[in-house]
Amino acid sequence: MKDFDAIVIGAGNGGLTAAATLQRGGLKTLLLERHNIPGGCATSFVRGPYEFEVALHQLSGMGTPDKPFILRKLFADLGIMDKVDFVEEPELYRMIIPGIIDITLPASVVGVARTLKQYFPKESRAIDDFLELCKFVTLESIMVLPRARKAVDKEMLRHQGKNFAKYGLKPAQQVFDEFFDDEMIKAVLGAYWGYLGLPLRELSFADMGALFYAYAEFKPYHVIGGSQALSNALLDSFLEAGGEMRFNCAVDKILTESSAVRAVRTEQGDEITCHTIVSNASSLHTYNELLDVSNRVELVREDFKSRRLGVSAFVIYLGLDCTPEQLGVTAATNFIVLTPDDEAVFRRAETLDEPLGCGFTCYNVDDPSFAPEGKSIASLICIQYGDVWKNVAPDDYVNTKYAFAEKLLDLAETVFPNIRSYIEEVEIATPLTMMRYLNTPGGAIYGFDQNRLDSSLFRERYKEIDGLYLAGAWSGMGGFQPTYQAGVSVANSIIRTQIYRDKANV
């Protein structure tokens, strides 16, 4: 008799939704987390009077009550919709290239079209055609692609998913170039590339077009209390269903027997047996450090060699002694770039040189309760690879961190000139901070790079160890919506396998 049906390693988004789904599906489940709070990236921390959101800028995938999308149903199934308050954001983003363009896109497809036509009247026809294409590629990738893949039926994709078949796997940049002449409109429509961690040339149009369309059609959301509130609610859903949780409890080893999982050993030395393990930790940590065998996973290791660690981030968390209005902030999400050339902006993520682009999220714009009255919380972020820190000597770390933070603040001051004078509390996170708190190699926040030729579409699930599953950014796409979905999807397939086995044994 095993101690648990399933053990989930890590209480990030994927771990939480996997654990809650497994337990609610009838499997006795234990959730083990090395940190002392749930959420992984989806957490908060307190400094002075401010509770800072670590990661979430805009939640995708909710949809409205009238037009619900994937996450609204997923959260309802896990019983947390009445425990968390979501705020629909009226704007997608404000994009500013100082001295060149300052444009705010509303969160609706019609509104986006109207605004873009005001700024780029010559591109009117192309704007309509492009948004229509985004819509069909998104719908076909959800409704046709999974069926065609399952049936291994190219003809089905060609006939029922012709937009996806023609454009889906092209580089996003190529499709933008095909539709538009004006470089500026491409920069404005492509501003979300940072959410995927790669420039348009490297992203598939399916990923970029669907991301943009999903935010515009199904709205971006803010969570009252930040993503920590969501993580807490998911943990409650798991515990209320009878799940067991241990914090400050890192898994040290996954123990196997005849190529099947048998148990985990915690850092404290406890051995806990189980039939199934879902790892929300990075795949590299899981297979290279946790697993007790190496001989059966050569193929997995080969697979790792062909991949590139994805980006991490450099973040300045700002507690500001002013309202958004006093600072001149008009939209919650802002992208400030010095050039429309996303490739040039991206290349800086591989250096500690002055950043050419950043995101600036001011949470109080859509949720005045996010900071004490008269104050605001903002997060200033640029993507950065963990590698750029590997040659910084430990003694130089603090100075290097503050020097880069000054450069990022200089960039923010091109749009919000008085920001430094309002800073009351500040905390800075580098890729090394992410590495320490998330236990991801290079502090990667989205898993591996997800370029158009190397997405989860082309990768099979690792099946070398019976009963070992991955759930989170490293087994598919990074980001909030994909990782919530990944946990549920893995858990449901485990439950289905279990039901099948039970029936076979009757």
Ligand X SMILES: Cc1cc2nc3c(=O)[nH]c(=O)nc-3n(C[C@H](O)[C@H](O)[C@H](O)COP(=O)(O)OP(=O)(O)OC[C@H]3O[C@@H](n4cnc5c(N)ncnc54)[C@H](O)[C@@H]3O)c2cc1C
Binding to ligand X, residues 297-336 (CB under 6 A):
313, 315
Residue 475 C-beta: closest distance to ligand X, Å: 8
Residue 384 touching ligand X (CB under 6 A)? no
Q: Which of 24, 16, 29 is nearest to 277 (CA)?
A: 29
| Apex 205 CA angle, 184 and 472, nearest 5 | 115
Residue 280 touching ligand X (CB under 6 A)? yes
What is the C-alpha to C-alpha distance for residues 402 and 250, in angstroms, rounded to an integer? Answer: 31
Judged by beta carbon, residue 133 or residue 470, the one nearer ligand X is: 470
CB atoms within 10 A of CB 417: 11
Q: Which of 72, 8, 86, 69 is nearest to 40 (CA)?
A: 8
Judged by beta carbon, residue 120 or residue 314, the one nearer ligand X is: 314
- SS3 per-residue string spanning 342-360: HHHHHHHHHCCCCCCEEEE
Residue 367 C-beta: closest distance to ligand X, Å: 15
Judged by beta carbon, residue 157 or residue 172, the one nearer ligand X is: 172
Residues 6+ apart with CB under 8 A from 155: none
Residue 224 tokens, joined: 């009252």
Judged by beta carbon, residue 200 or residue 471, the one nearer ligand X is: 471
Candidate list 4, 5, 10, 86; residue touching ligand X; CB under 6 A? 10
**Interface segment toward ligand X; rule CB under 6 A; list 53-61, 206-214, 403-411, 451-459:** 53-61
Judged by beta carbon, residue 163 or residue 433, the one nearer ligand X is: 433
Candidate list 6, 7, 19, 56; residue touching ligand X; CB under 6 A? 56
Candidate list 168, 226, 472, 476; residue touching ligand X; CB under 6 A? 472
Candidate list 24, 35, 219, 222; residue touching ligand X; CB under 6 A? 35
Residue 358 touching ligand X (CB under 6 A)? no
Judged by beta carbon, residue 23 or residue 439, the one nearer ligand X is: 439
Residue 323 C-beta: closest distance to ligand X, Å: 23
**Interface segment toward ligand X; rule CB under 6 A; list 56-64, 112-120, 122-130, 366-374:** 56-64
Candidate list 261, 329, 478, 488; residue touching ligand X; CB under 6 A? 478
What is the C-alpha to C-alpha distance for residues 475 and 447, in angstroms, rounded to an integer? Answer: 8
Candidate list 237, 483, 485, 489; residue touching ligand X; CB under 6 A? 483
Residue 74 touching ligand X (CB under 6 A)? no
Residue 44 C-beta: closest distance to ligand X, Å: 12
What is the C-alpha to C-alpha distance for residues 105 and 190, in angstroms, rounded to an integer? Answer: 12
| Cβ atoms of 488 and 297 closer than 8 Å | no
Candidate list 50, 167, 469, 480; residue touching ligand X; CB under 6 A? 480
Name the burial class of residue 16, with classes exposed (0-12), middle (13-18) and buried (19+) by CB atoms within 10 angstroms of its CB. buried
Candidate list 24, 94, 186, 285; residue touching ligand X; CB under 6 A? 285
Candidate list 5, 33, 91, 342; residue touching ligand X; CB under 6 A? 33
Residue 17 C-beta: closest distance to ligand X, Å: 8
Report helix, strand and coil shares of the chain as percent, to nearest 5: 45, 20, 35
Q: Which of 326, 417, 410 is nearest to 376 (CA)?
A: 326
Residue span 412-451 as binding mask against ligand X, x where in contact by CB under 6 A, dash where not: ----------------------x---xxx----xx-----
What SS3 state is found at 118?
helix
**Interface segment toward ligand X; rule CB under 6 A; list 40-48, 208-216, 320-328, 340-348:** 40-48
- SS3 per-residue string spanning 290-353: HECCCHHHHHHHHHHHCCCECCEEEEEEEEECCCHHHHCCCCCEEEEECCCCHHHHHHHHHCCC
* Distance set, CA 6 to CA 78, 79, 92, 132, 438 (Å): 18, 21, 40, 44, 22
CB atoms within 10 A of CB 155: 9
Please name every residue paired with 104 in a beta bridge, in sequence order, or none if there are none: 94
Q: Which of 60, 47, 122, 55 is nearest to 93 (CA)?
A: 60
The footprint of ligand X on this chain (CB under 6 A) covers a number of residues equal to 39
Judged by beta carbon, residue 281 or residue 415, the one nearer ligand X is: 281
Residue 251 touching ligand X (CB under 6 A)? yes
- Contact residues toward ligand X (CB under 6 A) are 9-15, 32-35, 40-42, 54-58, 195, 250-251, 280-281, 285, 313, 315, 434, 438-440, 445-446, 472-473, 478-480, 483
